[in-house]
Amino acid sequence: MRRNVLPGLRLSLGVTLFYVGLIVVLPLAALVFKAASLGPEDYWRIISSSRALASYRVTVLSALGATVFNLFFGLALAWVLTRYRFPGWRIVDAMVDLPFALPTAVAGIALTALFTTNGWFGSILADLGIKVAYTPLGIMIAMCFTSLPFIVRTVQPVLEDLDPALEEAAQSLGGSDWEIFRKVILPLLTPALLAGVSLSFARSLGEFGAIIFIAGNQPMSTEITALLVFIRLEEYDYQAAAAIASVLLIAAFVMLALTNWMQSRALRYTVKG
């Protein structure tokens, strides 16, 4: 290790470790400690109860649906924003961040107002026999909204920086648009797409505010896991809350690890050897 040339390591690292320890690590450790104090049998019984299982199902399936939708729509949006210029593209570009900037509770009541059976969209969809609010479809739409920027904002810079010469080289070799997209552009976007997908999926798994208004919150059908944690708390069943929250925490860590692993794997060809 080389000698530090610059001053301030002790102070800045001290502040950082203290803050991270107090604000991030301590609470999460307390949660894990609480969940662990249950003992394996009780823990397993709580996290595998039929209500909990149903909540995992609706959460994971809705998150998957929302992520798949955002994969295609987010890629299309990023493509349109980097490749095409049309009146108002800057406004559209700025609007992509709205789901990040708009508080989730606000998004939740707004989406609910749109999709209830007497709302702007809900009334039209009701005529077609589609019910959105208070169904898993509503959960999915809320997740689509809150996680949309992840994929757009991870893909967009990569698409912008893509060397046009790569495309030109493929064109000069006779590739069709579709072949060039599939064989040259898409593989180069894959790491960014995967990163965006895992961020988007992780966010959807944990989302709370935007969903509870539109979800209906019926146990066994439209109750998401985050809400189940909240309900257990309100019932003063702290151990059950800790156990189910720990499942969400583990899911978050798995997603975090997966993101890191996928990125390093997808980038293997840039490693010099």
Partner 1 sequence: MSATRTGRKPPRVGDQPLFRRMLIGIVLVIVALLIVAPLVVIGVQAFSKGWAVYRDTIIHPDTLHAIRLTVFAAIVAVPVNTAFGVAAAWSITKFDFWGRRFLLVVIEIPFSVSPIVAGVAYLFVYGLQGVFGPTLDEYGIKILFAIPGIILASMFVTAPFVARELIPLMQAQGRDLEEAATSLGASGWRTFFSVTLPNIKWALLYGVVLCNARVMGEFGAVSVVSGNIRGQTNTLPLHIELLYHDYQAAGAFAAASILALIAVFTIIAKVALERQGAGRVRRPALVANPAEKTS
Partner 2 sequence: MKIRLENVVKTFETFRAVRDVSLTIESGELVALLGPSGSGKTTILRMVAGLEYADGGHIYFGDQDATDIPVRDRGVGFVFQHYALFPHMTVAENIAFGMKVSKVKREKVAIEARVVELLRLVRLEGLGDRFPAQISGGQRQRVALARALSVDPKVLLLDEPFGALDANVRHDLRRWLREIHRELGITTIFVTHDQEEALDLADRVVILKDGHIIQQGTAEEVCRNPQSAFVMKFLGDANVLAAEVRDGKAYASGAAIDVSGMADGKAELYARPADLDWSAQGPGIPASITRVLDRPDGRRVLATAETGEQLEFDVEPERALKAGDGGFVTLRRAKVFALG
Which positions lie near partner 2, rule CB under 8 A?
A: 163, 165-166, 168-176, 179-180, 183-184, 187-188, 269-273
User: Whole-number minimum distance, CB 197 to partner 2, in Å?
Assistant: 18
129 phi-psi bin (left φ>0, alpha ψ -120 to 50, beta other): left
For residue 176, the surrounding DSSP H or E stretch is none
Rounded CA gap, 180 and 188, in Å? 11
For residue 102, the tally of other CB atoms under 10 A from its CB is 15
Rounded CA gap, 92 and 82, in Å? 12
User: Whole-number minimum distance, CB 69 to partner 2, in Å?
Assistant: 26
Is residue 251 within 8 A of residue 204, CB to CB? The reply is no
Is residue 191 within 8 A of residue 263, CB to CB? The reply is yes
User: Whole-number minimum distance, CB 191 to partner 1, in Å?
Assistant: 12
User: Whole-number minimum distance, CB 174 to partner 1, in Å?
Assistant: 13
Q: What does 12 interact with, of partner 2, partner 1, none (CB < 5 to 8 A by kind)? A: partner 1
Lookup result for tokens 């939740």: 108
Rounded CA gap, 221 and 162, in Å? 44
Residues in the chain, how many?
273
Indicate the residue among 103 and 174 with the shorter CB distance to partner 2: 174
Q: What does 161 interact with, of partner 1, partner 2, none (CB < 5 to 8 A by kind)? A: partner 1
Indicate the residue among 91 and 165 with the shorter CB distance to partner 2: 165
Q: What does 166 interact with, of partner 2, partner 1, none (CB < 5 to 8 A by kind)? A: partner 2
Q: What does 269 interact with, of partner 2, partner 1, none (CB < 5 to 8 A by kind)? A: partner 2
Indicate the residue among 3 and 268 with the shorter CB distance to partner 2: 268
Amino acid at 165: A
User: Whole-number minimum distance, CB 181 to partner 1, in Å?
Assistant: 6
User: Whole-number minimum distance, CB 235 to partner 1, in Å?
Assistant: 13
User: Whole-number minimum distance, CB 166 to partner 2, in Å?
Assistant: 5
Is residue 107 within 8 A of residue 146, CB to CB? The reply is yes
Indicate the residue among 37 and 171 with the shorter CB distance to partner 2: 171
Rounded CA gap, 273 and 270, in Å? 9
By C-alpha distance, which of 234, 225, 233, 231 is closest to 207?
225
Indicate the residue among 97 and 160 with the shorter CB distance to partner 2: 160
Indicate the residue among 79 and 190 with the shorter CB distance to partner 1: 79
Rounded CA gap, 83 and 205, in Å? 32
Indicate the residue among 171 and 264 with the shorter CB distance to partner 2: 171
Lookup result for tokens 């493929």: 170
